[in-house]
């Protein structure tokens, strides 16, 4: 397996719930390496780009509002097969069906009306990871370690 880098966004529910350290520790216990980390407020423009696949849907304004409740923490994380392994650690996007022991199963909001309140976003492919890291990190903000 090759070493990959993925993007993780700690969403407002992770910030509000004071879960960032706990979740980050889970990632680090699996040997993943932090290559970049920063807190940032998300503009309408970056959210429209990041969520381009749903930006014209009627529920997008609620997604934008949620993602702007607090700053988020962007994390560039590296490791062997990190993209798939992080997604396995997180569990399904819908926290209501995520098993105990997964991050979303342990910390996600268990309300079918709040599916976006699921602690973290994580890239779903090497191509997405590359584009998302460029979207959230500028030149010189992701380091080779």
Q: What whole-number distance in Å separates Cα of residue 7 and Cα of residue 128?
A: 9
What amino acid positions are annotated as catalytic residues? 121
Residues 6+ apart with CB under 8 A from 50: 42, 132, 135
In the Cβ-directed half-sphere of 57, how many Cα atoms lie within 13 Å?
Answer: 10
Beta strands per DSSP E along 52-91 = 72-80
Question: Is residue 120 within 8 Å of residue 9, measured between CB atoms?
Answer: yes
- Geometric angle at alpha carbon 1, from 95 and 131, rounded to 5°: 60
């Amino acid at each position: 397996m090759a070493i990959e880098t993925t993007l993780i966004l700690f969403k407002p529910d992770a910030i509000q719930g004071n879960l960032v350290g706990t979740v980050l520790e889970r990632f680090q216990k699996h040997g993943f390496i932090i290559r970049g980390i920063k807190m940032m407020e998300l503009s309408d423009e970056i959210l429209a780009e990041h969520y381009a696949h749903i930006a014209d849907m009627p529920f997008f304004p609620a997604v934008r509002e949620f993602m702007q409740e607090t700053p988020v923490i962007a994390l560039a994380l590296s490791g062997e097969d990190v993209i798939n392994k992080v997604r396995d650690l997180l569990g399904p996007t819908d926290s209501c069906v995520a098993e105990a022991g997964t991050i979303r199963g342990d910390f996600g909001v268990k309300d079918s009306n709040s599916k976006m309140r699921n602690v973290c976003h994580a890239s779903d492919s090497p191509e997405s990871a590359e584009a998302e890291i460029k979207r959230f990190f500028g030149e010189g903000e992701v380091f080779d370690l």
